[in-house]
């Protein structure tokens, strides 16, 4: 295998969807497990920290990154009948560097179902487990069987099952106790060979309200793509990282407090299995009148208040500072008006 190409002072401008002008002290792209090991050995020899990078659609690079930025570009996909599982499902193993949406489409094509509600989420397969990606009523954790990971310190290759990942809403063990400890190189999902339609999510059921039969998985995927394209800016046209904040999950008495101020029936909320309620962060931000706001070269998208956008996609170091300052302004306004803390969703590198 050829030696790994290590670059110095590599610009990451084109490698993050917020189009922030950050530089990696060292950079390499690993397309095989062996290359991942070589990269980790290089980092160890030179005493460098390692930052894994996928498609850069959930990072705010507010500083230059010291150490080695390791881009995961492993490709491939294999399927197998699940051991001991009921007929009607297939276990599909994806390499970390495959594009998420391409794999959703490939699975639909092969008659492997379950991913259609997660159509058009940017990013690569490897990162999907980090924040347990989710949309339109489905989360990665509903489908995940196991992950292959490499321990950054020891280089050991391990397999983690779903339980070990400790998934919850936009969260996993990789954002908590195992933060920055592992590189994810593969993930295995259990998909169904029979359509298993889930259109309970309000925007999806509304989309099909006039259809007099159950939609096919392809129709669900198309619907999700259409709804997303209408609401969310395409990062290739307007730099963004999707939702900037998580939807806050609050208890019943906090909800009652909100309703007493805003009016009963005026606060959108979604009951959670544990008795808590999720309130859309977009609604809270909208109420604070931020939708369409601009501050310098950045702003809040005019169709979706949860999305912060960077209008200046040239090399402009100030965008990161402006984005973080706007995020703080929004958090303070929401806290002030509703007493709710908004938690940032993407990983911020640099001063918070």
Ligand X SMILES: Cc1cc2nc3c(=O)[nH]c(=O)nc-3n(C[C@H](O)[C@H](O)[C@H](O)COP(=O)(O)OP(=O)(O)OC[C@H]3O[C@@H](n4cnc5c(N)ncnc54)[C@H](O)[C@@H]3O)c2cc1C
170 among known catalytic residues: yes
DSSP assigned state of 109? H
Residues 1-20 that bind ligand X (CB under 6 A): 17
345 among known catalytic residues: yes
The 213-232 site mask, x for binding ligand X (CB under 6 A), equals -------------------x
Catalytic entry in 172, 243, 269, 319: 243
Residues 41-80 that bind ligand X (CB under 6 A): 51-59, 72
182 within 8 A of 150, measured Cβ to Cβ: yes
By beta-carbon proximity to ligand X, the closer residue of 92 and 133 is 133
DSSP assigned state of 216? P
The 78-97 site mask, x for binding ligand X (CB under 6 A), equals ------------------x-
CB of 257 to ligand X, least distance (A): 29
Cα–Cα distance measured from residue 5 to residue 325, given in angstroms and rounded to the nearest whole number: 37
Interface with ligand X by CB under 6 A: which range of 37-45, 115-123, 216-224, 287-295? 115-123
Cα–Cα distance measured from residue 335 to residue 287, given in angstroms and rounded to the nearest whole number: 12
The 126-155 site mask, x for binding ligand X (CB under 6 A), equals xxx-xx-xxx--------------------
CB of 240 to ligand X, least distance (A): 5
| Cα separation values, 112 from 103, 137, 195, 214, Å | 11, 18, 8, 18
Q: How far apart are the first and last CA of the chain?
A: 40
Q: What number of residues does the chain have?
A: 352
243 among known catalytic residues: yes
Among 73, 117, 188, 240, binds ligand X (CB under 6 A): 240
104 makes contact with ligand X (CB under 6 A): no
By beta-carbon proximity to ligand X, the closer residue of 124 and 313 is 124
272 within 8 A of 281, measured Cβ to Cβ: no
| Residue 193, SS3 per DSSP | coil
6 within 8 A of 42, measured Cβ to Cβ: yes
Element (H, E) at 51: strand 50-53
Tokens of 213: 């039969």
Residues that bind ligand X (CB under 6 A): 17, 51-59, 72, 96, 121-124, 126-128, 130-131, 133-135, 183-184, 232, 235, 240-242, 347
The catalytic residues are 170, 243, 345
């Amino acid at each position: 295998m050829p030696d790994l190409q290590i670059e110095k002072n590599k610009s990451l401008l084109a490698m993050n969807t917020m189009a922030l002008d950050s530089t990696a002290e060292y950079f390499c792209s690993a397309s095989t497990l062996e290359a991942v090991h070589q990269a980790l050995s290089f980092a160890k020899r030179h005493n460098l920290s390692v930052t894994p990078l996928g498609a850069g659609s959930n990072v705010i690079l507010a500083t230059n990154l010291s150490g080695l930025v390791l881009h995961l570009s492993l490709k491939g996909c294999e399927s197998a009948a699940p051991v001991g599982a009921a007929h009607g499902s297939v276990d599909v193993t994806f390499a970390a560097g495959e594009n998420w949406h391409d794999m959703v489409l490939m699975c639909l094509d092969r008659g492997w179902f379950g991913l259609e509600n997660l159509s058009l989420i940017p990013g690569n397969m490897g990162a999907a487990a980090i924040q347990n990606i989710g949309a339109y009523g489905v989360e990665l954790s509903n489908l995940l069987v196991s992950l292959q990971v490499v321990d950054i310190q020891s280089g050991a290759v391990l397999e983690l099952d779903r339980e070990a990942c400790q998934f919850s809403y936009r969260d996993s063990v990789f954002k908590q106790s195992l933060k920055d400890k592992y590189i994810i190189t593969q993930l295995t999902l259990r998909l169904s060979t029979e359509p298993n339609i889930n259109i309970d999510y309000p925007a999806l059921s509304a989309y099909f309200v006039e259809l007099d039969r159950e939609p096919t998985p392809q129709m669900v995927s198309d619907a999700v793509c259409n709804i997303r394209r209408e609401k969310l800016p395409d990062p290739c046209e307007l730099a963004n990282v999707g939702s900037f904040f998580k939807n806050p999950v609050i208890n019943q008495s906090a909800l009652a407090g909100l309703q007493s101020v805003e009016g009963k029936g005026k606060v959108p909320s979604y009951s959670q299995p544990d008795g808590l309620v999720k309130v859309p962060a977009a609604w809270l931000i909208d109420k604070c009148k931020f939708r369409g706001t601009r501050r310098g070269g950045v702003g809040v998208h005019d169709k979706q208040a949860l999305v912060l956008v960077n209008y200046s996609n040239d090399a402009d170091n100030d965008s990161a500072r402006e984005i973080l300052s706007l995020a703080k302004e929004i958090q303070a306004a929401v806290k002030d008006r509703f007493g709710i803390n908004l938690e940032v969703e993407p990983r911020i590198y640099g001063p918070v």
